[in-house]
Structure 1
């Protein structure tokens, strides 16, 4: 039950933020909004405020903002044309449609800033395991040693330690180690290890043959530093998300890794159980994924609509109704196929877990 509630909170927040982007800029440009719905399908509850009816609908996997004149071929009254979505210039329509995904990206950015201010877990440079017959073992490094400096540069986090080793490009490094009350120095030449990374690329990296002890501390950051780190983290996640999509198309990442609602529910529960920071970071990750996916130039998604409006902006005329209809049908088939694949993967993973 906790997993379901966590997933509803996460998805509800992301859907609300996404639709809020569309809503705010529609109002900004004078477009009438008939409905603002969290979810699709039959109305569960709703309240009309002014011209807009605010709804919570039965199926929570999405939402919509219904604007005056949006997707309507019927003639509108002159008073409605001035405040209809279809009656606005292409550039304004582009901004209204793009606002949803952009709000998701910005929301993730704000979450990461908050996460860094609350405090993020980080591993110290305490060594938990020294792999036999690897460079560190041959040099005399032992488990429980605490690395305090590399090449004269102080280090106190495992991320900095591993990053410095990678930057060495296989050249010898000098490790200063605290062992009990002793301070020892070791000169170690990393060896090259070739393996596939998360994106399916074969990479070669220098390694010493040491494993973190998993000694965790919480790092807190002030607003300025959190702003910088939040910016970097947001960009890194966006970059990884885009690269992952490219690798999926190239089949470097197997399609079996695609997850659906069941996987989201399970992960939401796991992250919520680990604490507020883990759950917030998970929501930020989902928000970026939602934003990027919606920007893909697939008809029926925001990115597909953006393609149509950019076409109209450049060529001074809209795409024909027939071409748009065909494109949207293709987009719908692709989206349904993706949903079926995601559900299939979720179910397959569930039964595999049950049989283990």
Structure 2
């Protein structure tokens, strides 16, 4: 129910803000607005206010503003001056672009407000570096604090993720400045991230984790290899086949490479050292066989609390940070979409309503600041994608009106009709792909 409610609220807010942008500018340009609808199809509720019929319709996946226009129906002579098609091209362009701009303003406003209010964040400290990972091979060590990626300052773990995405697809390595306890600052050349590898697991695949894990068993899966071997809760892991263990990541790597192999694990249990003979079970991960014991580590609570902080700015700095965050996300969205079009990025990154609903629900569960941050991101994505020069979208209409401004005459109705049909086909294909990705992402195979 929370997921459904969060989804409805998210769509309702985004659509209302978007359509109100069109409505507000249209009214100020002297255009008569006939209908303001949230949703499509049969109206469930409607009321009259001035010249405009306001309504909530059956299908909540969008909305529209219908204006007086001779291309749709005959217009009385006394009202011709208020018809949209009779307006100067600059007014038409202003009305069209107002929807996406309203979503941009919402996103920037939310980022500004969240920055001024303050949000819970994690310091960009790589508490765990997985042995053999790209980060480890590049020379990073557990405990390194990441200060900069390229020229971008890194204030939090989330900002690290965004900065690495921003650097994805480069020709050379990424310059990462870290602070190492007792050694000061140093620059590490981290391998560039391939665009196709961008997903929520990016930092994990690079071998970076903010969670300070202990070499202590906190969970054991019943019936697992560890349980069968006699491993117990609160056992401290000491050695693997006689090799002293330095971190939980090191332990994971050794177990993964020992599928179906009998190994000896030394644990400290109270004041005693206990030797356990165990055979990691073989399982498939990403098509590769790996060993698994069925244990989970304890988290160093003191270190974890030390990494958490409240990221907060004064009103002026919060505005600057909010605008910078909105610009960064907008630029990444455009770049990623462009790379998808030319085949440099996988199409499975396109998400549909199911993904939006699931993430909306998860962010709502995480707290209102997390939900508002997610709402800002979706609003920003809606604004950017709506400005693409595709017929049916606002960007397509903006293209028509720009052509009218340059040529001095409207785009021929036939050309616009053909463009609308092409745009509709492209939009339906995109929606089908998004739903297909949603199905693969959330429906078990």
TM over 0.5: yes
Alpha-carbon offset, residue 328 of structure 1: 0.8
What CA deviation, in whole Å up to 9, does each residue of 1:129-177 have, x standing for no partner? Answer: 2454899999x9985x585999xxxx985689998xx9xx899978452
Q: Distance in 2 between matches of 1:232 and 1:298?
A: 27
State the Cα distance separating 1:121 from its structure 2 match. Answer: 2.7
TM-score by length of 2: 0.66
Q: How does 1:173-322 map to 2 (within 5 A)?
A: 175=179, 177=181, 184-185=182-183, 190=188, 192-197=190-195, 211-213=209-211, 215-322=307-414
Number of paired residues? Answer: 330
Q: How far is 1:77 from its partner? A: 1.6
Point out the structure with the larger helix share.
Answer: 1
Contact 1:16 1:38 in 2 (8 A): yes
Does the 8 Å contact 2:126/2:146 carry over to 1? no
Q: Provide, for residues 269-319 of structure 1, a one-character-per-residue CA deviation record: whole Å limited to 9, x for no partner.
A: 111111111111111111111111111111111111111111111001111
Q: 1:319 to 1:17 in 2, by over 3 A?
A: same
Q: Deviations over 1:326-354 (max 9, x none)?
A: 11111111111111111122122222xx2
Aligned to 2:16: 16
Mapped partners of 2:86, 2:332: distance in 1: 38
- Which residues of structure 2 form unaligned runs of 5+? 149-153, 168-172, 199-205, 212-303
Confirm or deny: 8 A CA contact 2:121 2:308 kept in the other structure: yes
Q: 2:144, 2:179 within 8 Å by CA — same for their partners in 1?
A: no
- Indicate the SS of the match to 2:8: helix
2:85 maps to what in 1?
Answer: 86
Note the alpha carbon deviations across 1:105-141, whole angstroms, 9 max, x for none.
1110001001112212322355522454899999x99
Tell me, yes or no, if the aligned pair for 1:45 and 1:56 is still in contact at 8 Å. Answer: yes
Which residue number corresponds to residue 62 of structure 2?
A: 62
Contact 1:115–1:277, Cα closer than 8 Å, also in 2: yes
- 1:122 aligns to 2:214 (yes or no): no
Whether the 8 Å contact between 2:125 and 2:146 is mirrored in structure 1 is no
123-132 or 335-344: bigger deviation: 123-132
TM-score, length of structure 1 as denominator length: 0.82
**What secondary structure, in the 3-state scheme, does the structure 1 residue paired with 2:441 have?**
helix
Closer, same or farther: CA 106–221 of 1 in aligned 2, 3 Å: same
- Cα distance in 2 for partners of 1:4, 1:161 equals 31
* Preserved contact between residue 40 and residue 63 of structure 2 (Cα < 8 Å): yes
In structure 2, relative to structure 1, the CA distance for the partners of 1:10 and 1:176 (3 Å cut) is: same
Larger Rg: 2
Q: Which residue of 1 aligns with 2:43?
A: 43
Distance 1:75 1:277, change over 3 A: same
- Tell me what 2:2 maps to: 2
Report the aligned-residue RMSD. Answer: 3.3
